[in-house]
Every structure is written in C-alpha cells, then in structure tokens.
Amino acid sequence: MEPFVSDLHPNPGWKKAKKINNIESSEKVSYENVGRHCILELYQCDKGKLNDEAFIRTTITSSAKIAGATLINLITHSFSPQGVTGLALLAESHISIHTWPEIGYAAIDVFTCGNHTMPENACELFSKEFAAKQCSLKNIIREIPNEFQNFQRDP
C-alpha cells in the first residue's frame, strides 16, 4: 500500500488541531516541510507585457527553469478584450498567473515541493520581466505533521 497524504488542505483536521475563529491551528506538533507556496502580486506593470500571451508563456517557462523545477505542461489563454491566464504543470507542483492589463496587475502563484527548488527566484523573475513598480510576496511553507508521514489509506 502506497503512503497517502491528502492534497486538499495542508491540515485536514489532524489531531491536536483546534479551531480559533474558524481557523485551524496546531500546537506542539512536529512537521515535515513538503514545499513552499509563493503568492506574488505585481502592481503597476507593463500593460503590454501583461496582455502578451507569447511573452507570458516564455516568462513562465523561464521562471520554472530558474526555480529549478521541471516543466511538464503549459497552457495559456488570452481573453478578449484583454488579460491572460496561464498554468504550468510542474513535476514539483504548479505555477499560475492571471493578468489584468487594464490596471497593470498580475496575480501569480508558484508552488514547488522538495528541497531542490527555489520558487522565490521565479517570483523575482516575474517581477523583473513585467517591470512591476510595486509587489507583494507571501511565502507559505506547506507542511505535513510527522505522525502522518507513513500514514496509509485503507482500500
């Protein structure tokens, strides 16, 4: 039987979790770091680049490479009259981008698993390539309690 770990939530009701104002928190539980999830918001970007699907595809590909991740597949869609959404499937997880050229804004997620990746490098590249004058980066550590590292699911 292969180990099973839920991918729906980083803490799906595990022991020692308690709710505080509808937010789950855990106390005195040891965790195994499984990855980092960077949430990047870019403001006052180059509007032309935010609306250029080919440029966005190239930038996503470059960001995966600079993060040390393995690109498996890339899909993008250009909206009318403006905006682009892109999703890169990585061996290590994913990169997503949604752009609003009309206001110079991009919302980007870079989630990578493993110790060999550097999602912050991808975020730095996005900020530079879109010529963002302002940005916000939130870095979330994705963790699994050690007691569930060998958890097995029943058929």
Active centre residues (catalytic) = 93, 98, 113
Q: Is the dihedral of CA 51, 54, 60, 62 positive or negative?
A: negative
Determine whether 118 is exposed, middle or buried from the number of CB atoms within 10 Å of its CB (0-12, 13-18, 19+). Answer: middle
CA 127 centroid distance within chain: 15
- Strands annotated E in the chain: 17-20, 23-26, 31-43, 71-78, 84-90, 93-100, 105-113, 134-145
CA 140 centroid distance within chain: 9
Q: Residue 7: what residue type?
A: D
In total, the chain counts a number of residues equal to: 155
